[in-house]
Structure 1
């Protein structure tokens, strides 16, 4: 298995993490942000579980494209957790990282989680991945890609989940499996499909085209949750515990008074929050306000390694994401 596109934390999830750090607990929409974050963080963990089981398979002529979001000619987007490209078949994998007791009604396409007396309704992963199949077929048709068997799997990635059908006469769909069964399911598919529909060189070319067409979900989080820029918590946060109790030492380092972590790059992690939530461009005054720095010269030193446009008071510095 070759991962032609590395699975990294989605930009939307990074933005939600930044919002959790910077939006005050007193903001009326803070709980909405937290709920959205927990949902997407859980989904990301489930997708990483799928990656692990895929990595156990032989490194044959198979390409893995994780977290791919494509746009059809009708301007609608569709997203696939994992797309597997093989000369003999293509496979879409939809992961569902849900814990607890799940009851699946194949007739109404309802997936219900029971927790005590409470019930929570989820979208049907089988229906979801079949819808993605229809959309991908149309997308490939526009690229003049020859017909290839297109298979689907809905994978339950949480080890503590239990699944049962609503009625005894209902059978679990063959394309709804637990994550542990993924390697054997892929082996079964490889044995069932012998004919090659596309050579490996063209397969790699298709993989590169799909990566180029990838359009990650990247909304303005402040607008989405009705948060004003002025409402954000200002200051430099600790990269380890995320508290804002940092003091600057004479040696140019920041020390966290909460966990005693020492960092010379703490300000860069805080500027990530500005980049994710506000803008990629920042001037001296905006940096001082966001990081709670009083001296313009101190701010200028922090900005010295960033590319800039303009002169004197009109200078804008262009932030890049810092991952340590």
Structure 2
């Protein structure tokens, strides 16, 4: 990354940016456990993916002057599913009103996921109504991604029993819901709804540039050889190769993508990655991004990748 047009204060601006980026990365690390759980669920979500289904991870929808965020939103012709993802270990004592976590004999109350997902569902229902969609069923689920977590239900818990599911059981739960619910939307309606949701997605505002009085034009994002500093590297046979000194590196793209996402704060598409790295293969680009554990919003051509930060 090179800052242009700022030669007199290049060193000071560069150090300020580094301090800002370090603060952002430190913040991301503090929620690493929760992000791991959400990334774990994405594997199971891919098991149900098909041409008739639209899956949105970490979608943040603007609505009446604020925005509500959903861990995972799944649209099908039959229904929508809103999923609250939890990566909690230990014994989970669950009722309709509360969730108690017991780890090594120590109990603590956790904010009620049922209340959280119901609030998201209420806002999404109102959002749908404002966009002319009514009588579209919304199913609320709480998915546990910790493989060793144990559910213990206490009364009243009828609603909780229907909503809680372990991540590895989710594909079966989904198929059962499909069988139980008739189709409500045509594929054309579903496609249009998906486009509207993506248009309403509003990532949290990133004020990094404003903070330092910079604009996007002040940056050139280029992959630089760490050995000789040359700005031309080619990806082949699973590694980056410097065209000047022959140095190889498997992950030197990672820092560039993180800088890009942290500074611009808008996510990155496969098309933008192709322009950034000169790689034409969508499969190679998807693989590079997937290994970074980025958050995926949208799917197929509309997909954008964001840092794992809420």
Task: Indicate the TM-score class for this superposition, using the shorter chain for normalisation.
Answer: 0.5 to 0.7
| Distance apart, 1:114 and its partner CA | 2.6
Match of 1:115 in 2: 103
Task: Tell whether 2:83 aligns with 1:93.
Answer: yes
Over 3 Å counting, the alpha-carbon distance change for 1:228 and 1:124 in structure 2 is farther
Superposition RMSD on alpha carbons, in Å? 4.2
Q: Where does structure 2 lack aligned partners over 5 or more consecutive residues? A: 1-16, 214-222, 234-246, 266-274, 277-287, 293-310
Shift of 1:127: 1.4
TM-score by length of 2: 0.60
Give CA deviations for 1:153-179 in whole Å, capped at 9, x if unaligned. 1100111212223x4675542111111
Unaligned runs of 5+ in 1: 1-17, 24-29, 230-238, 240-245, 254-260, 281-304, 307-321
Match of 1:178 in 2: 166
1:36 Cα shift?
5.4
How many pairs does the alignment contain?
A: 231
Aligned 8 A contact 1:20 1:34 in 2 = no
What secondary structure sits across from 1:70 in the alignment?
strand
Question: CA separation in 1, counterparts of 2:254 and 2:46?
Answer: 31
Q: What is the alpha-carbon distance in structure 1 between the residues aligned to residue 162 and residue 57 of structure 2?
A: 22
Measure how far apart 1:200 and its partner are.
0.4
Question: Which residue of the partner structure matches residue 209 of structure 1?
Answer: 196
Q: Tell me, in whole angstroms, the C-alpha distance in 2 between the residues paired with 1:35 and 1:101.
A: 28
Cα drift, residue 279 of structure 1: 7.2
- Name the residue aligned to 1:12: none
What CA distance in whole angstroms lies between the structure 2 residues aligned with 1:136 and 1:264? 42
The answer to whether 1:134 aligns with 2:156 is no
2:28 is the alignment partner of 1:42: no
The match for 1:64 among 55, 60, 63 is 55
Residues 89, 146 of structure 2: 8 Å contact kept: yes
The offset of 1:147, in angstroms, is 1.8
Q: For CA contacts below 8 A with separation 6 or more, give which structure has more relative contact order.
A: 2
Corresponding residue for residue 8 of structure 2: none
In 2, distance between residues paired with 1:251 and 1:149? Answer: 52
Conserved? CA contact 2:52–2:76, under 8 Å = yes
Distance 2:169 2:111 in 1: 22
Q: What secondary structure does 1:173 align onto?
A: helix
CA distance in 2, matches of 1:65, 1:186: 16
Aligned-pair CA distance for 1:144 = 0.9
| CA offsets 1:271-302 (integer angstroms, 9 cap, x no match) | 6666566679xxxxxxxxxxxxxxxxxxxxxx
Contact 2:96 2:114 in 1 (8 A): no
Greater percentage in helix? 2
- In structure 1, C-alpha distance between the alignment counterparts of 2:124 and 2:67, rounded to whole Å: 11
Whether the 8 Å CA contact 1:69–1:215 is kept in 2: the answer is yes
C-alpha deviations, 1:54-96, integer Å up to 9, x for none?
Answer: 32237352221221100112x1210111111111211111111
**Do residues 161 (structure 1) and 149 (structure 2) align?**
yes
- CA–CA separation in structure 2 for the residues paired with 1:272 and 1:189: 38
Cα contact 1:133–1:152 (8 A) shared by 2? yes
Partner residue, 1:191 = 179
The secondary structure found in structure 2 opposite 1:140 is helix
Q: Could you tell me how far 1:33 is from its partner in structure 2?
A: 7.2
**Cα distance, 1:169–1:127 mapped onto 2, change above 3 Å:** closer
Q: Which residue of 2 aligns with 1:151?
A: 139
Deviation at 1:149, TM superposition (A): 1.0
Verify the 8 A CA contact 1:94 1:125 in the aligned structure 2: yes
Bigger shift: residues 77-86 or 213-222 = 213-222
TM-score between the two structures when normalised by the length of structure 1: 0.57
Q: Give the Cα–Cα distance (whole angstroms) in 2 for the partners of residues 54 and 164 of structure 1.
A: 25
